[in-house]
Amino acid sequence: MVNHARLILAGGGGAQDSLPLDEVFATWIGPHGRMLYLPVALRERGIPYDQCLAWIQSVFRPLGISGIEMWTDLGEHDPDELAAFDAAYLGGGNTFSLLAQLRASGLGTALVRFAQRGGAIYGGSAGAIVLGRDIMTCAHLDSNDVGLADTRGLDLVAGHDIWCHYRPDEDARIAEYVRGTGRPVLAVSERAGVAVHGARIESAGFEPAYRFDENGIIGILKDDHTEVEPVPLG
């Protein structure tokens, strides 16, 4: 199947940090579209879900998006219900917990089909990481309290792993990760993000995003980044 995925990957900052990404996502949804909000990565943190709903509404209602529904227990929903939405928003929290819940409920597989058919998905922090090929980029930040053994993600980003909350002083750690796994990494800071259209990946935030592979590191531009020479990493 041709991958028609439309994805936003946000690095994990606050609403002011993600504004350019939110604006792009809102245009994909449209004023009459329906968005599904999944804050379930926060389940173990004790944050009231009504606060989560108030937050997402405060972000997207000013952008013209009012059709927002929140699911807080994935086991209470049939994955086929996803077809009623135009977009899905996967919030931040614990990445291991989020992936375990997506897998146990069957919603992970449904999200892959949803994306391949052109549905729009926004991933913030943990939500972005699970859209990559593997989630072990979060191992220095998140605890695997759920005992997840299979860390393969939804693999919607052209074979990349996603590194959120990126800082330049992590370059050596990311380079070691790439060498150890053989997988390329997209690194996004809290004020950065990328927009993905199938196999096309562009920066869409206030700061540039970066791609790490065996050849080094390149900044992802807003247009075509293929002619940018990589900077070798030691």
**pLDDT tens digits along 104-134:** 999 999 999 999 999 999 999 999 999 999 9
Percentage with pLDDT > 90 across the chain: 87
**pLDDT tens digits along 43-95:** 877 789 999 999 999 999 999 999 999 999 999 999 999 999 999 999 999 99
The CA–CA distances, whole Å, from 229 to 132, 153, 217, 225, 226 equal 24, 29, 9, 9, 8
Q: Which domains does the chain have, with CATH numbers?
A: 6-220 (3.40.50.880)
Say what the pLDDT of residue 46 is.
Answer: 77
Q: How far apart, in whole angstroms, are the C-alpha atoms of residue 130 and residue 10?
A: 12
Say what the pLDDT of residue 43 is.
Answer: 85
The pair of three-digit structure tokens given for residue 211, joined into one six-digit string? 């791609």
Say what the pLDDT of residue 231 is.
Answer: 52
Residue 9 class from Cβ within 10 Å (0-12 exposed, 13-18 middle, 19+ buried)? Answer: buried
Q: State yes or no: pLDDT of 228 exceeds 70.
A: no
Q: What is the pTM of this model?
A: 0.94
Say what the pLDDT of residue 45 is.
Answer: 79
96-125: b or e for each residue (b if 16 or more CB lie within 10 Å)?
bbbbbbbbebebbebbbebbeeebbbbbbb
**pLDDT tens digits along 15-37:** 999 999 999 999 999 999 999 99
Asked whether the beta carbons of 112 and 133 are under 8 A apart, the reply is no
Work out whether strand 67-70 and strand 34-38 pair parallel, antiparallel, or are unpaired: parallel
pLDDT-derived band at 1, boundaries 50, 70, 90 = very low
